Amino acid sequence: MGGGGATHGRLVHEDNELHFKGGKERYIIIPLRAYAEIINSFASIVGEAVGGPLTFLGKRIAYGLVEELQHRLSVSHKQANIENLVQEYARFLSELGFGKIEVKEVGEDHAIVYMHSPPSMDGIRAADDKVLEMLKKGKKICYLEAGMIAGVFEKIIGGKFRAFEVERGDLDNPYCVIRVERVS
């Protein structure tokens, strides 16, 4: 598992652990169904109020991605500003299997990303009735991904950021459009 692949040969498998070459953070690979079960579990506990807890969890998950993103920015000699970070993060999340991610807009204090087939949408196929009902009602779904984007921005750029789904597809066309913005 140590060579080639989407991570450009940087993901290494040593002593039954996955790390990016030179990094201390350990990574795991989980099936999409397990990702869906995280969402199902939260939805079963709190119902339609699931957005806050999932966004918070997404931020916490993102903290584990900071080391690799900072490394990538430093290797490419890029400043840790919104434009550079969102471009690098989009590439990184795509490499990790979060679907194809396109940066649609970048401003001084915000960015908008389009996620094709994000795990929260693709995982819906394995969802329980509560999550499917949320989808049918037009509720937001990509809370974990939004939280992950906001969390990385807070840790690398500093300050408070919020990220939220502004548009999403359905089971036949799974996508999420997420806006991240600095909070004054």
Question: Tokens 């939805």 sit at which residue?
Answer: 43
56 within domain boundaries: yes
3-state helix, strand, coil in the chain (%, to 5): 45, 20, 30
Give me the half-sphere count of Cα atoms (radius 13 Å) on the Cβ side of residue 173. 5
Residue 60: per-residue pLDDT:
95
107-120 pLDDT, tens digit each? 999 999 999 999 98
150 within domain boundaries: yes
Q: What are the C-alpha distances in Å from 159 to residues 56, 72, 152, 180?
A: 16, 21, 11, 13
Quote the tokens at residue 27: 């990574």
18 within domain boundaries: no
126 within domain boundaries: yes
Residue 144 has pLDDT above 60, yes or no: yes
12 within domain boundaries: no
Q: How far apart are CA 85 and CA 130, in angstroms?
A: 35
Residue 29: per-residue pLDDT:
85
Q: Band of the pLDDT at 5, cuts 50, 70, 90?
A: very low
Residue 22 has pLDDT above 60, yes or no: yes
Q: How far apart are CA 71 and CA 103, in angstroms?
A: 21
51 within domain boundaries: yes
Residue 4: per-residue pLDDT:
40
CATH number of the domain where residue 51 is located: 3.30.1380.20
Residue 100 has pLDDT above 60, yes or no: yes
Residue 140 has pLDDT above 60, yes or no: yes
Minimum mean pLDDT range among 19-28, 31-40, 125-134: 125-134
Domain total in the chain: 1
- Going by their DSSP bridges, the two strands 110-116 and 175-183 should be labelled as antiparallel
79 within domain boundaries: yes
148-182 pLDDT, tens digit each? 999 999 999 999 999 999 999 988 899 999 999 99
In Å, how far from its chain's centre is CA 18? 19
160 within domain boundaries: yes
Q: Which domain holds residue 96?
A: 31-183
Q: Residue 106 — left, alpha, or beta (φ > 0 → left; ψ -120 to 50 → alpha)?
A: beta
